Structure 1
Amino acid sequence: MKNLFLSALVLLISASMLAQKAKVINNPYYEFRNTGLNTISKIETSPEETRVYIHSTFIPNWWVDFSNEEKLIDCDTKKEYKIKEVVGVKFGQKVRMPSSSDSTFVLVFPPLDQTTQNFDFNDQIFGVSLDEGKAGLKPHNLTLPIEINEWLNKEVDKCKKEPLKDYNSRDFFLEEEGRIVGYIKGYSAKSGITTGMVYLSNYLTGEDYPIVVEIQPDGRFDVMLPLISPLYSSMKIGKTWIPFYLEPGLTLGMILNWEDFLYADRYRHINYKMWDTGFKGKLAKINQQLLDFEFEDRSYFKHREQQKKMTEDELAELYTRKKEMELAKVEYYIKAWRINADKVYPILKNKIILTHAQELYSLARQRKYIARQDTTNKELQKPLPDSFYNFLRDIPLGDHALFINTEFRSFVNAYEFSELITKHTRNIKTQPPVNVYQYLIDNEPLLSKEDKEYALLASKKEKTPEEIEQIKDMQLSYKVFSERYGSTIQKWQELASAHRYKAEVPTWDDAEKELAEKYNIENNLTLDVAKVRSLKYKFENVDKGVAEEFWQDLKEGIEHPYLIATGDKLFEKVYGDNANRAYELPEGTAAEIFNNIIKPHKGKILFVDFWATSCGPCVGGIKRMKETRKEYENSKEIDFVFITDEQSSPEKNYNEFIKDQELRNTYRISGNDYLYLRQLFKFNGIPRYVVIDKEGKVMDDNFRMYNFKTELDHIMKSRSDKLTKQ
């Protein structure tokens, strides 16, 4: 009887092992996928090994690889199974995709425990089921849940305001928040994406104010966006951009699909459009019509080799043909599908026109750069012919609608610094009423005998060869005088700036006149925008009296009341009672992240550098400051803190760089946390430098690191004066 029982047990175990060995699951069910490249097409389990068939779909001729860090993780026990091999492929070997765009790879792992029911593949595919009964089922319910639909309807219905009828409305400029409420179908926090970002900027002041989009565990998001006018922009979630149109005071409902994020990951060589996006609210129809229009692909990867071989004229002609083709496409779209001609049409048309203008401005900048490198090329030293700027004739520089597209921010920056505008300012011939050295002679009571002798010689308009040699022998300079008589020099600089600014105002009129005569540009509202944009820099570099006089003169040539009001606000911000005061960080997630970083360093004035290894100017700035940092490495007064994020500073590059630059107090934080800090200190681009005082307050949230020692002197003096008053 006993032998019979043992025999049965052996047979049962053998049958179990045989069954396990023969177990094959095609198209296994999974809960969530975080990659658009890979799926698991088959699993084979046996007592000896586990084979996972990875079906990769990617761009032809782009490569994929697998490392020796690949693993399976038991969902219940968290036990890890490290990869043993990739059949026919070495670890780290780059395998290029064929023209069919797909390949299947067999990854071999140790045998799974018999109790394993589900596993994760790395951080890419989660909840892969070994249940054969679930094979082939879809992983998500991609329909919109009833409760989410009700929530979206309720929130958009709260908005009672009506949209603008067109863009000629006097309410076009309106400082009011717009709201986006949305939901991502098929979303999971396992994606690692818990935040998104809208990179807002004020195109009048040049100020950035990026806004974090917090994604809830159930896939919902709700974000308020401070606006000054209607906006056609994009929200970035992960690496994917989602376009939207919004007006001040209105609410837009948005429904996204996680599958679109996966397609965007797969087709990362193009600007993938989120086709399965739905909208709710009074702006839903406009958003849908904008989404349905398909712009021509402007992929850098697609055209770069071709464009390298083209001349400047050929490139200009290519860009113009593309513009004309896309404009014709817009005309057809508007007429064939009865699209909103008052709002959708100007947005699409202006986006194409502004993109084209940017391409041509880019050519002009490239030409100027090459001319500086090749000074012997006489052709390059000539200015561009007037005909080059004929594209300005097609741009409605006086229409509100031009300001809606985010492309306008880049365009107006290129426009105001283009040769057409700057040549008028650059040609100002007036000199300050008095030479700096004569000013020192007349106004500096502590001027030494030797310095006065040098100043008398240096201030002479015509010098003899002997006097020139005498000046050289004295080994003095403007820099030396600035260090010795800084206060008086500063007063002269303010006097010189006031004189120059007074002469600059008419140059804007000259530019406007030339643009009207040569390019038939009337009602040049964009030029007035450029005038207002110039104020921030000027206000920050001269005293209140000079700035006030300049602004009063400049505003006489500006008609739009909102532009004048914006200039007044800029003036108040720089010279008002609350200007230059240290401020406390607002309570919230962002401040908590930042305070945890700086907590070990409180008690010192901190110079915080937001940077990345992938940012050339950031890396260059840190290298230039290396010796300066060494001067202060034992300082009890100041210290340096460096903050970057994991995505833009890969770990290997990061470790090598901080070692080479001997950086201390370095923090490499998650991408999600970094977005909060972007919002906190209001910056879209890096490098960005922030100064924190000894109490943890913000002294300067846009510090000029390139002028570190001079600015440091101002900071220390300001702090000393403050302590004296206390």
Structure 2
Amino acid sequence: MKQLFLSFIVLFCCTIVQAKERVIELPAFDAWSSTSLEVQKVVLNDTATIVYIDAFYRPHNWIKIATGSYLQADGKKYEILSGVGMELDKEIWMPESGTYSFQMIFPPLPENTKTVDFSEGDVEGGFSIWGIHLDGKPASSSLAGKKNPKETPVLETPELKAGIATLKGHIAGYRPEMKLAGSTWTFNPITGNTDENSIKVDAQGNFKLELPLNHISIVGISANFMQAQVYLKPGETTTVEINFPEICRAQSKLQKDKPSLGEKYYFSGGLAALNNEICNGPLRALPVGINSQADYEQMFKDVAAMNIDQYKQYWLNRREKGIKELDKYPEISDAYRKILLMNADMETAQQLMGTYILEYAYRQINNIPRDSAATGFVQPEITAAYYDFIPEFIPNSPVALYCSDLTYIIRSLQYANLSGKPLPKDIKELPDNTADIAKLMGTNEGFLFDLIAAQKLALPIQEFQPLTDDQLAEADKISPVIKNILTDMNNRLKLTIEENKKKSGYVVDRVNTADIPAEELFNAITTPYRGKVVFVDFWATWCGPCRMAMKQTEPVKKDYEGKDVVFLYLAAENSPKGAWEQMIPDIKGEHYRVTGEQWEYWGKKFGIQGVPSYMVVAKDGTPVHFQVGFMGVDKMKEMIDKELDK
């Protein structure tokens, strides 16, 4: 009887414990900063709050959860206690599946808590999930139920006309603690550049961009609240309401099948109908090009053993297959259909002109390093007939401005050997092929040729060589708008050159590299810094990722002022001397520009497969770390501090 009574007591206690535990499966959430972490369930009891996480990230890359992560409910913070399946501040390496599950343990929340926020705090790139619903209710949006007007877009013929295009935006569901921000990229086929601008969001979730444009332009927006390409027109204002809760729900692997909270974007003003269709529609692009690392790897396998004719047919087949996707979307307007087809054509043309990919793929599949001979690879013989796709796929018309690939197509055209005649092995500069382009197009006039001429005149300016009066007169023959664009660029360059003469904080060629053998050069450059930690940046003036990383690292240098740390920047002679000389005044540190032979030796010795690449050299002169691609500011500081403390 006593044993039966004890069993009853144990069962009664367990029932009480179970009654006090609450489990919320797949709780809805209002917004997040990253698609990498999803809440599978939340378990609440008297002793802890357990958050079950599914992490989704690239295989063989890592994520980590920082010490100091917390839940916040009703203004109170509950800091993380521990983890199950993960250790705080320790890297979690993602398996081949790209999915990993773990738990985060927090103190217990008050019993009546309806929603809770998760945050890693002020960690750079930290994870946040706002408005995790513990009340079982779905996410909500102030824009739910709103509909865009049914308007049929019209494809205007763009004209060259300089002016300011304004983009105004409001983010529904915004909270100041979200600290959302982003960037825009405007593709500029006149200069060959991609112009970048930052997006700053105020406390109410509003932002405003004023972009100088020269024609209807496609503007890429990259932000945690908006990933889209938007058309803007000089002299006009476009306004967008962003349904952030719906965007987050649609991105979620665990929440995407729950009811929609409305459309993602609501455009009004300039080119609104076209932007509403593109940004809210089911088809962003035809599946012709490469959209992921997995696509690249599969493409390498596909083409590695192909000859040039097979390679051409491979991309023509991809184009045809991609175009057939349009049959699935009869609701797409004629205007957007035309843009999709032009983009498919230009993407195909871009890939067909990139015949270098055949050797690159052969090396990748056969694991042949770049600095070794590609034994067994047969260099393709390309005749002029190979390029017969150019007049079909590249419009000689302003309507091509609706395609972002146009900027790069113009450049690719200029560097392609369209004649089919073999080039000398020791050639350093490709001959002007405008006549070959004209032969293919059947004319030497038209919008395409205006852009080719404009980019040729813009190139010296980008290499920090001001144009002469005669060159500016050539620009005037193309178009008054193009002349004004190039004149403005030229004047800004002259001003920059004068301002650079006044700058300090950088040192050039402390060691005379010309007289030092390649195998001794790196040691000769770094020997004067013995006793100091050297952070080495292998870069190039034409490398966009190099410049982006430098913007992030420049503020870090202030933390090491007066300490035994040297920032060393190494470039090769493929960085034009004029451009290099004018860029380095804004890059505080020690600078060297070496010969191609010296750089090639470093490439073989250190494994420099691309720029930017980085190295950390210990106080005794020993390289202790090398990697291709920027590691991020936090990792950079961690590596420098580790060596500095020794």
TM-score exceeds 0.5:
yes
- Higher strand proportion: 2
- Whole-Å Cα distance in 2 between the matches of residues 411 and 236 of structure 1? 22
What stretches of structure 1 of length at least 5 have no aligned partner? 1-13, 154-162, 269-273, 430-499, 585-602, 610-622, 634-641, 667-685, 693-699, 710-726
Aligned residue in 2 for 1:295: 285
Aligned residue in 1 for 2:576: none
Cα deviation per residue 1:565-618 (whole Å; 9 max; x = unaligned)? 54555555567xx5733299xxxxxxxxxxxxxxxxxx9713499xxxxxxxxx
- Whole-Å Cα distance in 2 between the matches of residues 254 and 198 of structure 1? 15
| Pairing 1:606–2:594 present | no
Shift in CA distance, 410/630, structure 1 to aligned 2, threshold 3 Å = farther
> If the length of structure 2 is used for normalisation, what is the TM-score?
0.61
Aligned residue in 1 for 2:237: 251
Amino acid at match of 2:168: V
- Whole-Å Cα distance in 1 between the matches of residues 114 and 230 of structure 2? 42
Specify the SS of the correspondent of 1:392.
helix
How far apart are residue 369 of structure 1 and its match? 11
Aligned residue in 2 for 1:326: 322
- Whole-Å Cα distance in 2 between the matches of residues 111 and 644 of structure 1? 43
- Whole-Å Cα distance in 1 between the matches of residues 139 and 525 of structure 2? 52
Specify the SS of the correspondent of 1:280.
strand
Cα deviation per residue 1:127-171 (whole Å; 9 max; x = unaligned)? 657xxxx6112344342699xx9xx99xxxxxxxxx98731x6xx
Cα deviation per residue 1:408-458 (whole Å; 9 max; x = unaligned)? 1222222222223898999999xxxxxxxxxxxxxxxxxxxxxxxxxxxxx
Aligned residue in 2 for 1:435: none
Counterpart among 11, 22, 25 of residue 24 in structure 1:
22
- Whole-Å Cα distance in 2 between the matches of residues 174 and 389 of structure 1? 32
How far apart are residue 125 of structure 1 and its match? 3.2
- Whole-Å Cα distance in 2 between the matches of residues 416 and 702 of structure 1? 35
Aligned residue in 1 for 2:178: 191
Note the aligned Cα RMSD (angstroms).
5.8
Specify the SS of the correspondent of 2:209.
strand
Shift in CA distance, 375/68, structure 1 to aligned 2, threshold 3 Å = closer
Cα deviation per residue 1:663-705 (whole Å; 9 max; x = unaligned)? 3699xxxxxxxxxxxxxxxxxxx9997566xxxxxxx799996
How far apart are residue 112 of structure 1 and its match? 5.6
- Whole-Å Cα distance in 1 between the matches of residues 344 and 145 of structure 2? 38
Cα deviation per residue 1:173-228 (whole Å; 9 max; x = unaligned)? 111111112222223333332x2211225322245542222212222222112111
| Pairing 1:281–2:238 present | no
Aligned residue in 2 for 1:224: 210
| Pairing 1:234–2:220 present | yes
Specify the SS of the correspondent of 2:356.
helix
Shift in CA distance, 606/353, structure 1 to aligned 2, threshold 3 Å = farther
How far apart are residue 235 of structure 1 and its match? 0.9
How far apart are residue 92 of structure 1 and its match? 5.6
Specify the SS of the correspondent of 1:38.
strand
- Whole-Å Cα distance in 1 between the matches of residues 468 and 57 of structure 2? 56
Residues 229, 404 of structure 1: 8 Å contact kept: no
- Whole-Å Cα distance in 1 between the matches of residues 322 and 376 of structure 2? 36
Aligned residue in 2 for 1:175: 162
| Pairing 1:122–2:39 present | no
Deviates more, 1:50-59 or 1:232-241: 50-59
The structure with more radius of gyration: 1
Residues 218, 229 of structure 2: 8 Å contact kept: yes
Specify the SS of the correspondent of 1:523.
coil
Shift in CA distance, 543/645, structure 1 to aligned 2, threshold 3 Å = closer
Residues 221, 230 of structure 2: 8 Å contact kept: yes
Shift in CA distance, 401/332, structure 1 to aligned 2, threshold 3 Å = farther
- Whole-Å Cα distance in 2 between the matches of residues 380 and 178 of structure 1? 50
Aligned residue in 1 for 2:497: 580
Aligned residue in 2 for 1:317: 313
Residues 166, 210 of structure 2: 8 Å contact kept: yes
How far apart are residue 514 of structure 1 and its match? 2.8
How far apart are residue 325 of structure 1 and its match? 2.7
Aligned residue in 2 for 1:337: 331
- Whole-Å Cα distance in 1 between the matches of residues 186 and 160 of structure 2? 16
- Whole-Å Cα distance in 2 between the matches of residues 234 and 226 of structure 1? 15
- Whole-Å Cα distance in 2 between the matches of residues 624 and 536 of structure 1? 38
Deviates more, 1:17-26 or 1:253-262: 17-26
Residues 231, 275 of structure 2: 8 Å contact kept: yes
Aligned residue in 1 for 2:298: 306
- Whole-Å Cα distance in 2 between the matches of residues 689 and 251 of structure 1? 36
Counterpart among 547, 559, 566 of residue 663 in structure 1:
566
Residues 254, 280 of structure 1: 8 Å contact kept: yes
Aligned residue in 1 for 2:405: 407
- Whole-Å Cα distance in 2 between the matches of residues 654 and 583 of structure 1? 20
Residues 84, 109 of structure 1: 8 Å contact kept: yes
| Pairing 1:353–2:340 present | no
- Whole-Å Cα distance in 2 between the matches of residues 688 and 357 of structure 1? 35
> If the length of structure 1 is used for normalisation, what is the TM-score?
0.55
Shift in CA distance, 262/687, structure 1 to aligned 2, threshold 3 Å = farther
- Whole-Å Cα distance in 2 between the matches of residues 119 and 227 of structure 1? 43
- Whole-Å Cα distance in 2 between the matches of residues 396 and 236 of structure 1? 27
Aligned residue in 2 for 1:531: 453
Specify the SS of the correspondent of 2:143.
coil
Total equivalences in the alignment: 510
Residues 58, 94 of structure 2: 8 Å contact kept: no
Query: What pairs up with 1:513-592 in 2 under 5 angstroms?
Result: 513-518=435-440, 520=442, 523-538=445-460, 547-549=468-470, 559-567=478-486, 569=488, 580-582=497-499
